[in-house]
Amino acid sequence: MPRRRVTQADVAALIGVSQATVSFVLSGRTPSGVRISAETRQRVLDAIRITGYSANPVAQRLAGGHNQILGVFTYETTFPSGGRDFYGPFLIGIEHAAEQIGVDLLLFTSARVVEGSRRLATSGWQRLGIADGCLLLGQHEEQAELQHLLDTNYPFVFVGRRESEGGRLPYVGADYLSGTRRAVLRAADLGHRRIGYVGARTSDQPTRDRLAGYQAAMVDRGLHPSYIESADTVSAAAQIAEQSLSAVLLAPENGPDELRLALSEMRIRVPEDLSVLLLGQPHHRLPGPTRWSGFTIPREQMGSRALLLLSHLAGTSYAGIPSPGGPALGGGRTDPDLHQLLDCTDVAGETLVPPNGRGGAGTLTRSSTILEPKRTHA
């Protein structure tokens, strides 16, 4: 049979003192006029050790204290499967920051993932009270839930840029817009004129930022945007050839290795015939030696900075810990920037080269039949 949780009353009964005495010893604060001898204090500590008593964090919070516990909630499955490890680097950065400031992490996983996403409301808002604040990660957030957290003044930080009414929502994100714009300009500076965007044009904030950067750079250079939204790599490769593109920007949800294989079936070589730039680390990769051009997302740094910001908002920061966006926290501390965008890191790689002078991938075909994938026979 499962053992019930040991309470302060159990500890008090074991050594014949009041529950208030146990509470005073645990808190380290004794009210005026109350004296607890060193012998009694030691007996309480020994009883706590023997019984394995641990304080109830929810009760501590209700008493007005801080638990030194910060939560992490992901809208999608947290742990990787099938080679996908999107959250791993974020969690590494979060853990490093937690060690630095001396707080524990609580991963909220009780809500089931339904149709690729989970909801805070499903697991019960009360669970959030266990933690002093919570980090939120994911692509499929529920706006009503975020608004509820804002309305109730619950401390939270979103890992990733998110817009909100009045700019009240705190976040630490990656500057996808600037990174994507630089990627276009890098290709254009090498002579590319037919530069396409490969990826779904969905409404999530990262996609909107990448598309805005792509469109702004194309307009800046007087180039015509080309969009390829097919999730199927064979179809995407066919559209790249059909549009005679010489360079493409690849959104992270698309696998560069799979696209390269599909292109090779059409006698289109990367990078000789088609330059490819990645707009962040792909969600999943096939093992291989290719050093892809583009940019990387500072995921570990985002996780670390987000936890430091959350610690400040939740009031759990220690003096001397650098405030994200300001001087040291503690005495005389200043409020940090609630909206932080970190620069993406450009990667030279080996898949961006000058155009081959033959007009793009489509000019490699002698007839429309080459656009069909090469068929093999068992």
pLDDT tens readout for residues 212-232: 999 999 999 999 999 999 878
- Report yes or no: 242 and 173 within 8 Å, Cβ to Cβ: no
Q: What is the per-residue pLDDT for 331? A: 39
Three-class DSSP category at 334: coil
| Residue 196 parent element (H or E) | strand 195-198
- Tokens at residue 248, please? 């493409």
The amino acid sitting at 57 is P
- Tokens at residue 150, please? 């804002």
By percentage, how much of the chain surpasses pLDDT 90? Answer: 48
Please determine, for residue 179, whether its predicted confidence score (pLDDT) is greater than 90. yes
Q: What is the per-residue pLDDT for 87? A: 78
| CA distance linking residue 356 with residue 227, whole number of Å | 22
Q: What is the per-residue pLDDT for 358? A: 54
Q: Which residues contact 360 (CB under 8 A, 6 or more apart)?
A: 194, 243, 244, 245, 246, 273, 274
| CA distance linking residue 32 with residue 180, whole number of Å | 63
Confidence of residue 113 (pLDDT cuts 50, 70, 90): low
Please determine, for residue 186, whether its predicted confidence score (pLDDT) is greater than 50. yes
Q: Dihedral, CA atoms, 18, 23, 29, 31, nearest 10 degrees?
A: -40
Q: What is the per-residue pLDDT for 15? A: 92
pLDDT tens readout for residues 62-110: 454 567 889 998 887 766 555 456 778 999 999 999 999 989 999 887 7
The amino acid sitting at 87 is Y
Most confident of 11-15, 17-21, 109-113, 185-189: 185-189
Q: Which residues contact 55 (CB under 8 A, 6 or more apart)?
A: 26
More confident residue, 115 or 286: 115
Task: Find the mean pLDDT for residues 9-22.
Answer: 89
- Tokens at residue 332, please? 């005389």
Q: What is the per-residue pLDDT for 108? A: 85
**Per-chain mean pLDDT for the chain:** 82
| Residue 146 parent element (H or E) | helix 143-151
Please determine, for residue 148, whether its predicted confidence score (pLDDT) is greater than 60. yes
pTM: 0.74
pLDDT tens readout for residues 311-364: 999 886 543 444 444 444 333 345 679 999 999 999 999 999 999 865 556 544
Q: What are phi and psi of 347, to 5 degrees?
A: -120, 120
- Report yes or no: 90 and 300 within 8 Å, Cβ to Cβ: yes
Three-class DSSP category at 322: strand
| Residue 195 parent element (H or E) | strand 195-198
Task: Find the mean pLDDT for residues 176-192.
Answer: 98
Q: What is the per-residue pLDDT for 123? A: 56
Q: Which domains are assigned to the chain?
A: 8-55 (1.10.260), 69-154+299-342 (3.40.50), 176-296+346-371 (3.40.50.2300)
Q: What is the per-residue pLDDT for 42? A: 93
Q: Which residues contact 114 (CB under 8 A, 6 or more apart)?
A: 122
pLDDT tens readout for residues 50-71: 887 776 655 554 454 567 889 9
pLDDT tens readout for residues 238-288: 999 999 999 999 998 888 999 999 999 999 999 999 999 999 988 665 556
- Report yes or no: 289 and 333 within 8 Å, Cβ to Cβ: no
- Tokens at residue 315, please? 């009031």
The amino acid sitting at 225 is P
Query: For strand 247-250 and strand 275-279, is the pairing parallel, antiparallel, or unpaired?
Result: parallel
More confident residue, 128 or 16: 16
| Residue 242 parent element (H or E) | helix 233-242
